[in-house]
Amino acid sequence: MTIPAGGGYEQFLPEIGPERLAFGRWLFAQECTFMRGVVKMDGLPPADRPEIAFAGRSNVGKSSLVNALTGRRTLARVSNTPGRTRELNFFNLADHANLADLPGYGYARTQRKLVDQWTKVIFQYLRGRATLKRVMLLVDARHGLKPFDIEAMKALDESAVSYQIVLTKSDKLKTAELGAVIRKTAETAAKHPAAHPVICPTSSEIGLGIDHLRALAADAAGLEPDAVAGYKPASS
């Protein structure tokens, strides 16, 4: 996975020092295993380590991003069919953190009641999970924030759940278009109290922003390079 030379997307990546990038890369290269998929709140894994959740509209690229971050092609199931991920899927990242790949919201092909049920469980989880350190709210870079996303942002604001907008599928845009959507998204995020001000553009397809998101997730999980067992910075 490499970014084509001259793409120019790199200029939009958040500023993160090389040490943090290296730590994030190391963390996500550790063993990551599927724990369980749950459909009900009472099936959640124990809340015993920091958790980072990946949420967003159906088909936005959540599962693909979890795979890109962990460098595994098939850890989380990816599909062309929207609404593929129907469970909250939990992954254990070397006992340091959990990753949660959530079902997409805003997908209404199945019966309305079923959709409401999914959405209810997702929001119950988002509101009630004590160890949830940050929600990475994925937004398709081609579309920007849509009404469903704004609704989700409001719900997260109300429950004071820290979230950060991550743009997906950036490879589908021209450089200038990506710049414009980042600016616009940042303007909206600034009006939402629980939204992190930094917008991270990514592409699972070409590997854009993956190291940056690893570092942001490590940071959000409260994992510090000098406090994590087994990590040795290159400089020491």
Interface contacts to ligand GTP, rule CB under 6 A: 58-64, 78-80, 82-85, 103-104, 168-169, 171-172, 203-205
Least distance CB 119 / ligand GTP (angstroms): 12
Least distance CB 202 / ligand GTP (angstroms): 7
Residue closer to ligand GTP by CB (options 85, 98) is 85
| Cβ-closest position to ligand GTP | 104
Q: Which residues contact Mg ion (rule: CB under 5 A)? A: 62-63, 85
Least distance CB 139 / Mg ion (angstroms): 15
Residue closer to ligand GTP by CB (options 22, 62) is 62
Residue closer to Mg ion by CB (options 59, 170) is 59
Residue closer to Mg ion by CB (options 85, 202) is 85
Least distance CB 88 / ligand GTP (angstroms): 11
DSSP string, the chain: --PPTT--GGGGS----HHHHHHHHHHHHS-EEEEEEESSGGGPPP--S-EEEEEEBTTSSHHHHHHHHHT-SSSS---SSTT---SEEEEEETTTEEEEEPPPBS--SS-HHHHHHHHHHHHHHHHH-TTEEEEEEEEETTT---HHHHHHHHHHHHTT--EEEEEE-GGGS-HHHHHHHHHHHHHHHTTSTTB-S--EE-BTTTTBTHHHHHHHHHHHTT--TTTSTT---TT-
80 binds, among ligand GTP, Mg ion, none (CB under 5 to 8 A by kind): ligand GTP
